[in-house]
Amino acid sequence: MANQHLMATYNRIDTAFEQGQGSWLFDTNGNKYFDLISGIAVCGLGHSHPEVTRAIKEQAGRLIHTSNLYQIPLQSKLADLLAEVSGMEKAFFCNSGAEANEAAIKLARLYGHQHGIDSPNIIVMEGSFHGRSMATLTATGSRKAQAGFEPLLSGFIRVPYNDAEALKDIAKNNSNVVAVLLEPIQGEGGIVIPDKDYLNKIREICNDNQWLMMLDEVQTGNGRTGTYFAYQHNQIIPDVVTTAKGLGNGFPIGACLASGKAANVFQPGNHASTFGGNPLACAAALATVTSIQKEDLCAKAAATGEKMLTALKEQLKFADYVKDVRGIGMMIGIELDSPCAELLVLAKAKGLLLNVTADSVIRLLPALNISEEEADLAVNTLAKLIKVYAADDRGRERRAKPRSGDDRRKSR
Ligand SMILES: *Cc1c(COP(=O)(O)O)cnc(C)c1O
């Protein structure tokens, strides 16, 4: 039921939830759902996590907001903690992923100007997603998202993802490049996982050219892929990292982290946010990050994710309409051979909340702390569902066009 006073920016599913507990959501009609999307990688600790709830309640009763005109001890504490888990040096706090990336883009441009480059360029990737503000929309590699909002910003160069050679070519011909901005794994782009050494190659190219290596970990961060940040799989330290989504377990907060040559680019007056890093947001994030540490959720996400991935591959191995099952930690994509948005309706009817991205990729972003039984339940229900969907009219219709090698279909 669309509300006449809401802008029509979303195609919403006609369900409202009124309560959540762990990986479970309860709608206004008393139906129970297994949440495999976690508010799009936001509620990594599950819903109503006691530590986060307690921190928000206590802080709300004490002090919600002051201003960055003053010292904010909780903000300092959170900056220290993020430095510890990330290996980065400095933090700027904001309220969303787009804002964190805006800060990164501004930092890169200022870095360029400080080094005598008046028209700095930032290299971005095909298939990327960085947000909906004008600069982050420009950086985003989706014509569909950009259409109608021109003129976009200048100063961005786009290259194919997972192609380090493309960066080397630009390095030879363009002396105005100041930074590379990319996701370690493309989330909205369809859970696209690059080669294992891709980030290492980019680190090297950035070092060779004095470019800033800037990673958008808004979706991949905060334990999602089995390490606190995804770049930690590669044993590198980027110059800039952005985070948001899972940082406050649902309380809005984002951060732009910097190290090395990026650490001291911003000086007083260069950038700001009224709400950014206020006491309430920092209390929520401190409770979230501390809980991720205490409950060993990076390791847990790695182990549960691996188990789910293996089981999904096993259960779907004879399904020829499944093109690929891939993932790392609790970030899993099941790519079908045709658009499958309708699967969401079927899944919801079976009590499963998931998401489809890049038209044909079923995306799972479960809470990091789901139990083994819950993981089994998710895999079994979903695998069955995909088979039913593929066999019914909606699935068959779209796949009516014969493909080469279709006779390889095996029994299920
Ligand atoms: C969601 C997302 C963003 C945007 O975050 P918002 O909080 O919606 O502004 C940016 N980058 C990536 C990789 C994301 O997944």
Q: Are residues 271 and 172 in the same domain?
A: yes
Q: pTM for this one?
A: 0.95
Question: Into how many domains does the chain fold?
Answer: 2
Q: Are residues 212 and 283 in the same domain?
A: yes
Q: Are residues 136 and 208 in the same domain?
A: yes
Q: Are residues 329 and 257 in the same domain?
A: no
Specify if 116 maps to a domain: yes
Q: Are residues 242 and 127 in the same domain?
A: yes
Say if ligand 1 is within 6 A of residue 183 CB: yes
CATH of the domain at 334: 3.90.1150.10
Q: Are residues 135 and 101 in the same domain?
A: yes
Could you give the CA distance from residue 229 to residue 246 in angstroms, rounded to a whole number?
11
Which atom of ligand 1 is least distant from the CA of 254? 7
Q: Are residues 272 and 391 in the same domain?
A: no
Q: Are residues 81 and 199 in the same domain?
A: yes
Q: Are residues 169 and 185 in the same domain?
A: yes
Could you give the CA distance from residue 269 to residue 394 in angstroms, rounded to a whole number?
56
Could you give the CA distance from residue 45 to residue 38 in angstroms, rounded to a whole number?
9
Give me the DSSP letters along 96-136: SHHHHHHHHHHHHHHHHHHTT-SS-EEEEETT----SSHHH
> How close is the Cα of 81 to the center of ligand 1, in Å?
22
pLDDT of residue 301: 98
> How close is the Cα of 244 to the center of ligand 1, in Å?
7
CATH of the domain at 232: 3.40.640.10
pLDDT of residue 410: 36
Q: Are residues 75 and 44 in the same domain?
A: no
Residues 6+ apart with CB under 8 A from 375: 304, 307, 308, 311, 366
Specify if 304 maps to a domain: no
Specify if 192 maps to a domain: yes
Q: Are residues 34 and 101 in the same domain?
A: no
pLDDT of residue 411: 34
Q: Which domain holds residue 78?
A: 50-294
pLDDT of residue 392: 78
pLDDT of residue 170: 97
Could you give the CA distance from residue 99 to residue 253 in angstroms, rounded to a whole number?
10
Q: What is the mean pLDDT, run by run of 10 residues, along the chain of 412 residues?
A: 89 94 96 98 98 98 98 98 98 98 98 98 98 98 97 98 97 95 98 98 98 98 98 98 98 98 98 98 98 98 98 95 97 96 92 96 98 97 93 64 42 32
- Ligand 1 pocket test, pick from 95, 218, 222, 365 with the greatest ligand atom count within 8 Å of Cβ, gives 218
> How close is the Cα of 98 to the center of ligand 1, in Å?
6
Specify if 373 maps to a domain: yes
Residues 6+ apart with CB under 8 A from 410: 318, 320
Specify if 189 maps to a domain: yes
Specify if 1 maps to a domain: no
If one counts every other C-beta atom within 10 angstroms of the C-beta of residue 71, the result is 8
Q: Are residues 97 and 213 in the same domain?
A: yes
Question: Nearest C-alpha to atom 6 of ligand 1 is from which residue?
Answer: 97
pLDDT of residue 393: 59
